[in-house]
Structure 1
Amino acid sequence: MTTAPRPAVAEATGAGRSTAPRPPGTGLLGRATRRTGRRRGYEALSGWLFVLPAVALFLVMGLYTVGYGFLLSFARWNGFAPHWDWVGVQNYKDLLWANPAYAPRVRHAATHTLYVMIAVPLLTVLVSFPLAVLLNSARRMQTLLRSVYFVPYVTSGIAVFFAWQYILQPDGAVNAALKTLGMGSLAQPQGWLGNPHTALPTMIVVTVWGAVPVAMLMYLTGLQTIDRSVLEAAELDGAGWWRANASVVWPLVRPITAIVVLLNLRDSLQGFQTFLVMTNGGPGDHTNVLGLEAYRLAFLKDLAPTLGLASALGWLLFAAALVLALINLRVLRSRT
């Protein structure tokens, strides 16, 4: 007759232990996994709670505003009537050719905007790149010079624009300097902003003056990342200072040039603050640009303000900026 094994012996030999698999997650590893999962869930929830105000603000001020403006571009509304008058694409037709009260002004403003879009990026690159090269080669006071050149960008825009207005007046500093140098024939009795022939070129110069600091800093950053051995190799091959910068440095900073051109094209196409403060489109609409025209259509009473036309013109500007960005991206990719 056999007897049952003792409990200790049974435990040591594994007798009487269930061979059924344990449910998943019941061991130490499973509990640790569950704790890690809960902790990650709490972290994700707290992260979403932190960004929720910014997301809500973006949804209200971003997507809602953009969608509202897009729908408004197909309606006629002065901002006060309780209802819109749906007109479809008529606003776009009125701006481009159909309405004789708006189409000629838009075409005139588009011509001025085209001049600004060509001149400002070109002059900005021509001024900022040599300035960055000279600043990069400076051995002393480089930080001070960089700060001085960056002052136009960090100074309050309104204050700078009023300062330029004062300088360009008939009795301003520019005319006074020309008379002192014996070039009084170049002075403008009406002021540089009052003469229809000099108003737009003067505004282009002021715009370039404000755009150069950022472009110069971008070029300077790119120049400081160029390997010094590349320039030394060019010098060993007999390349002088001009040749090295034209044939070696300039191709290496071509992506930065593309960014500078794109940013200035965007600002030239959509920006209007400088023109609004300094000339308000004058004299005689000789400095009127598309961004300023959209502002006038939206808010000025003498043009029978309609937010629908202003929204339509804004979306035309957005489409033009998008096309320019795509072209710039395509050109940049083809050269890299």
Structure 2
Amino acid sequence: MSTLTTEDRAGRLPAESPGRGPGRGRGRWGRWLTGWAFVLPAVALFLLMGVYTIGTGLALSFAKWNGLTPEWIWVGFQNYLDLLYADPVLAPELRRAAWNTFQVMVAVPALTVAISLPLAVALNSVRRLRGVLRSVYFLPYVTTGIAVYYAWRYVLEPDGAINVLLGSVGLGSLSQPQGFLGNPDTALPTLILVLVWSSVPVATLLYLSGLQAIDPNVIEAAHIDGAAPRQVLRRIVWPLLTPLTAAIVLLGVRDALHGFQIFLIMTNGGPGGHTDVLGLQVYRLSFMKELAQTLGLASALGWMLFAGALLLTLVNARLLRRIR
């Protein structure tokens, strides 16, 4: 076995040690530059479409602009004050839209959870045609939203399928001569049910994945101890699915705060503003006020919605940590 002599050890320079040569440094810099060359297009696109757009939108919320003139009129916090109380025309409309949004934000997640969890439990216990049933229940989610909304609007018209069906089975007193979307008392609840119908598939799929992740031995032990199926669902399954429930509720809140397509296509906020929501107000202020300097108001309202969604997300995360 050969060993290094004293002269060899003394003569070896630090620069000659492995990993410290000049070639090693050049190779590291070359890999670093190569990596950035691949990432740079995505970073540039994010800076252009993300950071620049967000910064411009925030600045626009403190100005008035109609989208055509080259200059903005800076007004400071006046846009926010007009939305909250200062504008005698706009502020009452926004308060009514906020109340409708709140109803949707509470009803849609609650009904989604109440329907999707039992449905997921039933589908999870099915042995035959499980894949077919899951595909059938997931179909509303993969169907084009605009086409579905137009179909629902046709079904809910005065001479639509629902009124015809109610009359044919002797329940004509429940039918709506002006249509379910034309009656101020039924318009918003009807849209809530349509939203629940479209959100249940995703929630059911999430609950199915959560149910399949639960250890079967835990359920079997509960049954051996004499627990009824309802007790197993309430005492064991439901606590284990709490994180998924929080995610489903958060998705429903997000759709209520930012979604407006269904309200635009099916009712356009009518009748008489009974289905007007904040997301639809942002759309109107942005695109429906021709030659009016309302883009700043739309941006301010959008940032207020963002702040509300962020606050609810933080509260949801805090509650979830406490539950865990």
The TM-score by the shorter chain falls in which range?
Answer: over 0.9
Q: CA deviation at 1:272?
A: 0.7
Matched, 1:21 2:47: no
Counterpart-to-counterpart distance in 1, 2:321 and 2:230: 27
How does 1:36-185 map onto structure 2 within 5 Å?
41-185=29-173
Report the equivalent of 1:8: none
Q: CA deviation at 1:302?
A: 6.8
> SS at the partner of 1:68?
helix
Contact persistence 2:66–2:291 (CA under 8 A): no
Q: Percent identity?
A: 60
Matched, 1:189 2:177: yes
Q: CA deviation at 1:20?
A: 4.0
Please provide the CA RMSD for this pair: 2.2
Matched, 1:334 2:285: no
Cα 1:30–1:201 shift into 2, 3 Å: closer
Contact persistence 1:275–1:287 (CA under 8 A): yes
Amino acid at match of 2:36: W
> SS at the partner of 1:151?
helix
How does 1:256-295 map onto structure 2 within 5 Å?
256-295=244-283
Counterpart-to-counterpart distance in 2, 1:91 and 1:177: 49
Contact persistence 2:60–2:295 (CA under 8 A): yes
Per-residue CA deviations over 1:56-103 (Å, capped at 9, x if unaligned) read 111111111111010100001111122111100000000000011210
Contact persistence 2:85–2:91 (CA under 8 A): yes
Amino acid at match of 2:12: R
Counterpart-to-counterpart distance in 2, 1:286 and 1:97: 20
TM-score by length of 1: 0.90
The count of aligned residue pairs is: 322
Counterpart-to-counterpart distance in 2, 1:300 and 1:270: 17
Q: CA deviation at 1:35?
A: 6.4
Greater alpha carbon shift after TM alignment, 36-45 vs 177-186: 36-45
Unmatched segments (≥5 aa) in structure 1: 1-12
Q: Which protein has the larger Cα radius of gyration, Structure 1 or Structure 2?
A: 1
Amino acid at match of 2:13: P
Unmatched segments (≥5 aa) in structure 2: none
Per-residue CA deviations over 1:87-129 (Å, capped at 9, x if unaligned) read 0000000000001121011101001001001100100000111
Kindly indicate whether structure 1 or structure 2 has the higher relative contact order, using CA contacts under 8 Å at least 6 residues apart: 2
